[in-house]
Amino acid sequence: MAEVDLHTLSKKMAKLDFAMLATRAADGGMTSRPMSNNGDVEYRGDSYFFAYRASRKIADITAHPQVVLSYTGAAGMLGGPPLFVAVEGQATLIDDKAQFEAHWTKDLDRYFPDGIDTPGVVMIKVAAERIRYWDGGDEGEIRA
């Protein structure tokens, strides 16, 4: 098992767009939902997602900002094993339109029809604290 650094893991994660975002619900249970970072996957330890402020996930994050992201990727180009990545981190909410613009892609217009001016839109930033990965040959943990 070789140790992988964040830069190397980032290259492996480049094609992983969807993640399951797990939050602690008001009743104390865990809940997950799929999220897309819409191609904003140059991974340096932070993940960005857009949501509506009135959504349950935002209420969960406001009450309990510790979250988990789970990424899974298909087999590699040469038929290798899939890549699994779990990211534990702190979520914060961002209301700054300049930061929205920096992470916005045209695909988001499907969900937010007025773009960064869509009423109620908020950006979720997840700052990684611990990253676990497995791809069949390598597995390990990176502390961010």
pTM summary value: 0.88
pLDDT at 61: 98
CB 26 within 8 A of CB 59: yes
- Cα–Cα dist 71/59, whole Å: 23
pLDDT at 2: 58
- Looking at residue 37, the DSSP 8-state letter turns out to be -
pLDDT at 77: 46
Closest CA to 49 of 106, 89, 10, 91: 91
Domain locations along the chain: 6-143
Closest CA to 11 of 85, 106, 70, 87: 85
Under CATH, what is the fold of the domain 6-143? Pnp Oxidase; Chain A (2.30.110)
- pLDDT tens track, the chain, 144 positions: 457 788 888 877 877 878 999 999 999 999 999 998 766 556 778 899 999 999 999 999 999 999 999 998 875 545 667 889 999 999 999 999 999 999 998 889 999 999 999 999 999 999 999 999 998 778 899 987
pLDDT at 8: 82
